[in-house]
Amino acid sequence: TGTGTGTGTGTDTGSASTPAGSVSVSVASDSPAVATILADSSAAADGAQMLIPMLKLRFAAGDQEVKVKTLKLTRTGVAADTDVDSVYLYDGWTRLADHNSFNKKIVTFSNSAGLITVPANGSKEVMVRMDLANSVSASKTIGFQVAAATDVELVGTGGSVSGTFPVSGVNMTTTQVTDLGTLSIGTFTSFPGTIDPGSTDREVWRFTLTSGSQDLDVEYLRLTMVGTIDPTHLKNLRLEVGGVQLGETVAQLPTDKILIFDWSASPYMIPSGQSKVFILRGDVTGGAGRAFKFTFQRSADTRTRDRGYNAYVEMRQSAGTDFTLIDAGDTDSDSSTAADDGTNVNSGTLTIGLTSDTPSVNVADGASNLTLAKTTFKAVGEDVKISSLAAACSSSDASLYLVNVKVLLDGTQVGSTDTAMNCNAYGDATTYTFGNTFIAKEGVSHIVSIVADTTASSSGNNDTLTVRFNAGSANAQRQVTLGSFSTTQQVGKALTIKSGTVTVAKNNAFGSRSSSNPTGVANGGSVRIASFTIAAGGGEAVDITQIVLQDVDATSQVGDNFQNLKLVKNTDGTQIGVTIANADTSGTQSSYTFTPSPALRLGKSDVLVLDVLADIKSSPQDSAMLLGGSTTVNTTAGTSGVILVDGVTATGVDTGSDASSSSNLNQATQVGYIAAQGNLNAVIDSDSPVATQLVLGATGVDLAKFKFSANSSESLTIQTLAFNMDATTAATSVLKNIKLINSSGQQIGPTIGGLTAETASTSAFVKFDNLTLNIPASQSAVLSVRADLASYLEAGLSTTGQALTITLEAGAVAAGVGNGDYDPDTTGAQTSIVVIGNQSGNSLSGTDVDYSSSTTDADQNGNQMTLYRTKLGVAYASDSPSGSSTGSGEQTVAKVVVSNTANVGSYDATLALLNFTLGQTGISNTADRVARVYKDSVLSANQLATTTWDLTATSAIFSFSSPSGSGFEDNQTTTGFTDLTISAGTSRTLVVTLDTTDAGTNDRLSFQISAGQITWGDGVTTSITTVNDLPLLAKTLTY
């Protein structure tokens, strides 16, 4: 019993032992099967298989965790202990243990803290692996077993081990081969003898691996660092071969000093007979006065697979030898490393530089506690004590003095304060001593600043200034390796002393207003009447506490035309101060004060843009004229704008000094203009549908597209739109379900059933009333006129080919444009647009509604559409020939698909004539030759047309060089071309052949169908010569 004084109720008051628990031992279901294991019999390259899986054991725990501290295995089979080099325990590919002893067939693994941990009510499977010794003869058998329960010892007391013993694996049989792969390591003592702390991306070890007999896959390397350096000082470690990194970078050497590179998923292959140089690179961030080296401690520190035999092989220093410690520091190759300490880390250093945010450009005049330079002091490798620093300054004005100059370390003053430092070429230096207060910690960037006041009378606007730390003299001492050194000079950036006064200017990004670009209209809300800028001085930031605006003069007062005056930020609309509801109209020049709360802060040299907004009165005094008084102060054209900026009150943030603008500033702003009402411009849109053939019975057809734009004066609401359709009287019944569609695809207004015919002309019109189409100021709306087409029978037509055009009539009769009246049958001029100004409330007419993209109004016409019962389509077949070709007596030179669209009434289309254009380079234009056209395929029964090219008969018409090309167009008429009927919704393929037997190398032939070269009919009109798809661009054959 122990001697403790425990107060428990047990009889043992000492240090009680932990119960061991219970565990059962068995062979895992996937334990290795019988296999042949390999040794090399070649005297020049003896070697053997390693990491051979021999036996997988399963340990199952009861209701508490179990730790196995000792495991004994008995070798079975017919062999000797010396036939086995090493035995291991693995959990997956994690090595748990190497054998502690191997004697008289017994292999012992032991770890008092526990080899194997088995969770409560769980299990753990452990693989027994071994390395075969060199030169083992063939036909030996080797296996392992747990002979008895006593061969398993648990951590703790009172535990139990169960199982059906012996728990045995199979016996493996040895065999010899003459070409087992070998892996040897050489040139492994290449490393830097010394290295500076703080070094990055440095080579820290180099070794060579050579493959023999077989291609080898290197899957895993385990390097152990030996030395006195702290592992945290070795970072970003990686291996590379031939400049290419293998696997991932290890961010920092682990505390166990073991560096693992695992490439199992993508092994690195070394071809047989080749050597590869592996370079270990990394950062040495510290460790002054320390040393380090890397080693391979055990044969299992490498995992390399012979590709030929699919077996792991051992790494050795040379063939025929067993593995020995591979040590980068063993420069004398005596296997003793006592005096070979590897890479030594040099003494620490100190890096000094300016911070990224050190002051530059400008500093404030009359300011206190100004930071004039910020530097970094960073110790590398070890802590460094800085005992003193000397500061000095230089200026363009040799009489300039800095006041209360001091040094701050990480924001806290160190050393004394110099009450006055003359900036005459660094001649008045002050030494600041720190005692033990300034120790730069290794790896830490310390901020050391020079701070001073610019309040001396000698300080002036635009004086330049530079401060620096002078080079020291033995003023830095290393704290680990000892020894002193001198700090280097560090010069701050050049500074200019600036006053902080704000300046005010007109915002030139906002121009003066005019009749063509007015301020707004009567009743306009929150219109921008002026815009100006406030710029802080270059010396310091400022706080703006008041902004004063003023009437231009007594006769041009803001209140004459505007009310609800307010000041806002241009960037986000934030209001400054309060709204002034009623500006003065008394006939006296008045001021308007805006007080921001809190104050507006502007950084040094920052610019703030402010806008003056106001509502235009319902009855402004000065409508339809330029607004701006005659004051000429700060103006360029004798006009000072709608309102003046009288002054800005500001205070310097650093100095607390007055930074206000000049008093009675009278800064001009923009000229204004109040329009009576807005303006609408209506034009055909550039994206309006092109002229095309339309099929009767089609639905949702866009006939024309119009663009309606409001100017900047006010937003507009279109209440009525009327469109004319110019067509024969017979065609006015074609359109139905007529709609207006906006650019988002939404319908605007009602659906109109059909056109209203005009007795006074052949036109008809459609009118959309009760619209509420809002167009914001300076914006546009695009509307499509969309309709369904009645079928041929529904429309009561007896002909086809009618043309129709949608028109927006321009203005009224008085305008003298067109007839100016969309409905001549109704008395009076019926204008096509009724539009209201949303702010002015006025109905726009005359010059306020424009129908032009230029200065002269004109009817806005959509493109002409033509009506047929169906529509023909033409395209090249997907297999129409082009490119490389070979001539023949009847070569297919083109394939064309002619289609008839699906249509209401299922009307056929009839192809009456096909002509085409040919061009040539090199092919004879004097020889007669035959061209033919077939339907579907080249069969005599399918021939539609043929012609013999005869220069005697046709002169140059059929010459390949004829500019107009040729085909059947001059000697082939519709009576010579067999009509081809194409049913609705179907297509037919036309094949064009030509005699090209005389085509020579690099000769060329081109084929195309131009507009007008096809004649077809829709069953009513028989000679239609337009096809929407034409022309078909040329395809070229090269022989």
How does pLDDT run across 471-506, given as a tens digit for each residue? 999 999 998 888 899 999 999 999 988 877 899 999
Q: How confident is the model at residue 48 (pLDDT cuts 50, 70, 90)?
A: confident
Distance CA(458)–CA(420), nearest Å, equals 11
DSSP codes joined into one string, 173-196: EEEEES---EEEEEEEEE--SEE-
Q: Which long-range contacts (CB under 8 A, 24 or more apart) does 840-847 make?
A: 840/521, 840/522, 840/523, 840/524, 840/676, 840/677, 840/678, 840/714, 841/523, 842/676, 842/677, 844/677, 844/678, 844/679, 844/680, 844/716, 845/812, 846/811, 846/812, 846/815
Kindly state the average pLDDT of the residues 596-604: 93
More confident residue, 609 or 19: 609
- Are 954 and 1032 in contact, with CB atoms under 8 Å apart? no
Q: How confident is the model at residue 638 (pLDDT cuts 50, 70, 90)?
A: very low
Distance CA(151)–CA(360), nearest Å, equals 77
State the CB neighbour count (10 A cutoff) for residue 367: 22
With a cut of 50, say whether residue 876 has pLDDT above it.
yes
Burial annotation 34-66 (CB, 10 A radius, 16+ → b, else e)? eeebbbbbbeebbbbbbbbbbbbbbbbbbebeb
Q: Which residues contact 336 (CB under 8 A, 6 or more apart)?
A: 330
How much is the pLDDT for 730?
55
Distance CA(864)–CA(852), nearest Å, equals 19
How much is the pLDDT for 676?
87
Q: How confident is the model at residue 634 (pLDDT cuts 50, 70, 90)?
A: very low
* Tokens, residue 234: 């070795």
Specify the pairing of strand 464-469 against strand 388-395: antiparallel
Per residue in 944-992, pLDDT tens?
A: 988 765 444 332 233 222 333 333 333 334 457 889 999 999 999 999 9
- For the ranges 573-577, 578-582, 632-636, 792-796, the lowest mean pLDDT is seen at 632-636
State the CB neighbour count (10 A cutoff) for residue 550: 22
How much is the pLDDT for 938?
95
Sign (positive/negative) of CA torsion 931, 990, 1035, 689? positive
More confident residue, 965 or 71: 71
Q: Which residues contact 1001 (CB under 8 A, 6 or more apart)?
A: 1039
How much is the pLDDT for 483?
86
Kind plus residue range of the DSSP H or E element containing 393: strand 388-395
With a cut of 90, say whether residue 622 has pLDDT above it.
no
**Ranges assigned E (strand) in 559-617:** 562-569, 575-580, 591-594, 600-602, 607-616
* Tokens, residue 884: 């490389």
With a cut of 90, say whether residue 745 has pLDDT above it.
yes
With a cut of 60, say whether residue 11 has pLDDT above it.
no
More confident residue, 569 or 8: 569
Q: Which residues contact 899 (CB under 8 A, 6 or more apart)?
A: 872, 873, 874, 875, 982, 986, 987, 988
How much is the pLDDT for 948?
64
How much is the pLDDT for 271?
94
Burial annotation 103-115 (CB, 10 A radius, 16+ → b, else e)? eebebebebeebb
Per residue in 268-322, pLDDT tens?
A: 999 999 999 999 999 998 888 889 999 998 888 899 999 999 999 988 876 556 6
Q: How confident is the model at residue 820 (pLDDT cuts 50, 70, 90)?
A: low
Per residue in 384-416, pLDDT tens?
A: 999 999 999 999 999 999 999 999 999 999 999
Kindly state the average pLDDT of the residues 614-632: 77
More confident residue, 118 or 628: 118
* Tokens, residue 114: 């526990």
Distance CA(783)–CA(799), nearest Å, equals 31
Distances (CA, A) of 831 to 238, 717, 721, 775, 810: 83, 16, 9, 19, 8
Query: Letter for the amino acid at 177?
Result: V
Distance CA(406)–CA(408), nearest Å, equals 7
How much is the pLDDT for 337?
42
Query: Percentage of the chain with pLDDT > 90?
Result: 61
With a cut of 90, say whether residue 759 has pLDDT above it.
no
Ranges 177-191, 640-654, 811-825, most confident:
640-654
Kindly state the average pLDDT of the residues 745-772: 88
Specify the pairing of strand 716-726 against strand 773-775: antiparallel
How much is the pLDDT for 2?
37
Per residue in 720-741, pLDDT tens?
A: 999 988 765 556 789 999 999 9
Kindly state the average pLDDT of the residues 545-550: 95
How much is the pLDDT for 480?
85
Model-wide pTM > 0.95: no
Q: How confident is the model at residue 540 (pLDDT cuts 50, 70, 90)?
A: confident
Kindly state the average pLDDT of the residues 585-595: 93
How much is the pLDDT for 474?
93
With a cut of 70, say whether residue 818 has pLDDT above it.
no
Instruction: Kindly report the average pLDDT of the chain as a whole number.
Output: 87
With a cut of 50, say whether residue 427 has pLDDT above it.
yes
Burial annotation 256-269 (CB, 10 A radius, 16+ → b, else e)? ebebebebeeebbe
- What does the H/E/C string look like for 900-954? ECCCCCCCCEEEEEECCEEEEECCCCCCCEEEEEEECCCCHHHEEEEEEECHHHH
Kindly state the average pLDDT of the residues 658-686: 88
With a cut of 50, say whether residue 1039 has pLDDT above it.
yes
How much is the pLDDT for 701?
96
